[in-house]
Structure 1
Amino acid sequence: IDFVEKPSVPPEIPGRPGFSFVSMGNYIFEREMLEESVLSDNEKKDSSHDFGRDIIPSLYKSHKVMAYDFSTNVLPGGDRPYWKDVGSIKAYWEAQMDLLKHPSELSLYNQQWPIRTVSYSDPPGFTYPAADHSCSVDGCLRAEASRVLGAYVRKSVLSRNCVIKPGAVVEESIIGQNVEIGENCRLRRVIVDAHNIIPPGTSIGFDPVEDAQKYHLDLASGIVVLGMPKIQLRKKLIIPGSYEQLFRSPDETGF
């Protein structure tokens, strides 16, 4: 058994020319064995401390190691198996865009094979013309409480509680939760992480030089990324006579 990191010419499976074994990076361990393996590998000075490269090849000689052939996977309802390595910004963006295809490579609507995810008690998404601007949403996925108000949104993924204001144009983008996109903004091929507020009239994704100066520009794909802003956490409120006040340390009370 051997491990080769992303070779340009992968070794073929014996007897199956044109096919290679590729690790999907998903591992299931018994906890005790995992702890023992990681601690043991940590003591090896010549190890790169990688699951695929070091730990699994060292285990198969002394433990029962099994692999699942994903190519034989059969899903109820007729859907095809789907897997994508999202180890880059481009791959992550492409995986989101895959969900917008019809038919999609990964169906979210197969009732015989539901994809379990977190559920919130937010209101439904809302679309409405506003401020003399018509409203258009084309080929998008929208989460709870996402609001498109007099804006044009095409081929994008909208997370919960985001709002896109009148006159804005958003195309081929991923919008995180609690994001506010101001009036008359233009976004194309942009990933906006949660809690960002984009001022009115901002253009992102049209001028690579300007984008690289203000944001993170992925040179391999041209996709612009706005990371999550730093959030000022509220100071803990100490109520007079409460447990927190009575049992604070001397440093906290000032005595």
Structure 2
Amino acid sequence: MYDLNRNEVPGSTVRDRFYWRDVGTIDSFFDAHQDLISALPIFNLYNEQWPIFSSQLNSPPAKFVRDSRGALGEVIDSIVSLGCVVSGAHLERSVLGTWVSIESGAVVTDTVVFERSQIGEGAIVRRAILDKGVVVSPGATVGVDREADLARGFTVTQSGITVVGKGILVE
């Protein structure tokens, strides 16, 4: 058993020294990601004295661009990984894995999106976890209508988090 009381983390504070979070349920996994995007997360990804060593991808930086009509996208309180492109869309309180694209007019809030997923033009995704390679078609919704999500075979927790499995096409 690991003894957190003996854990010495350079650069930590009293608040984050003994950080531990169980992510064994969908809700706790979601909550851990929501904590990461808070203004002062308990688990500090930016502690330069105790760096996080993750895989180094040969990928371009994330890009936030106007869409073809010149509409601005906006990203608020989110973490966006390498290779992502947000084009004229609204992204808020969300975490994007690598190579995610969000197209014009899409609205993505309170969501965790795994790598290489695509969210089409005008789609709406709320309180969701999208696994790798999910494609949300233009105009489709996830997390908006619980009964529709259940009818499509998605998992929806009691707290309302919708989970879409790997490689699923959402129409």
Higher helix proportion: 1
Partners in 2 of 1:87 and 1:220 — Cα distance? Answer: 16
Query: Aligned residues: percent identity?
Result: 32
Q: Which residue of 2 aligns with 1:182?
A: 120
- Structure 2: where are the runs of 5+ without partners? none
Normalised TM-score (structure 1):
0.62
Q: Of 78, 90, 104, which aligns to 2:12?
A: 78
Aligned residues of 1:89 and 1:218 also touching (Cα < 8 A): no
Q: TM-score, normalised by structure 2?
A: 0.90
1:218-245 per-position Cα deviation (integer Å, ceiling 9, x unaligned): 3322111111027xxxxxxxxxxxxxxx
Corresponding residue of 2:52: 115
Asked if the contact 2:135/2:167 (under 8 Å) is kept, the reply is no
Contact 1:215/1:225 (8 A) holds in 2: no
Query: Which of structures 1 and 2 has the bigger CA Rg?
Result: 1
The CA RMSD over aligned residues, in Å, is 1.4
Tell me by how many angstroms 1:72 deviates.
4.4
Q: Does 1:92 align with 2:34?
A: no
Please list the CA deviations of residues 48-95 of structure 1 after superposition, one character each: whole Å capped at 9, or x if unmatched: xxxxxxxxxxxxxxxxxxx44314433211342311111110011111
- Aligned counterpart, 2:77: 139
Q: Which amino acid aligns with 1:135?
A: G
Q: Displaced runs of 4+ in structure 1, greater than 3 A? A: none
Secondary structure, in 3 states, of the residue corresponding to 2:121? coil
Structure 2: distance between partners of 1:212 and 1:192: 15
Q: Equivalents in 1 of 2:124, 2:35: separation in Å?
A: 22
Alignment of 1:137-216 (within 5 A): 137-216=75-154
Pairing 1:48-59 to 2, within 5 Å after superposition:
none
Segments of structure 1 that go 5 or more residues without pairing to the other structure are: 1-66, 231-255
Task: Name the structure where strand makes up a greater proportion of residues.
Answer: 2
Residues 146 and 156, structure 2, Cα contact 8 Å, conserved in 1: no
Residue 10 of structure 1 corresponds to which residue in structure 2? Answer: none
Tell me, in whole angstroms, the C-alpha distance in 2 between the residues paired with 1:215 and 1:99. 29
Residue identity opposite 2:151 in structure 1: Q
CA distance in 2, matches of 1:141, 1:83: 20
Deviation at 1:182, TM superposition (A): 0.4
Measured in 1, the distance between the counterparts of 2:158 and 2:6 equals 33
How many equivalent pairs are there?
164
Q: Which amino acid aligns with 2:137?
A: P
Question: 1:62 maps to which residue?
Answer: none
- Is 1:168–1:182's contact at 8 Å kept on the other side of the alignment? yes
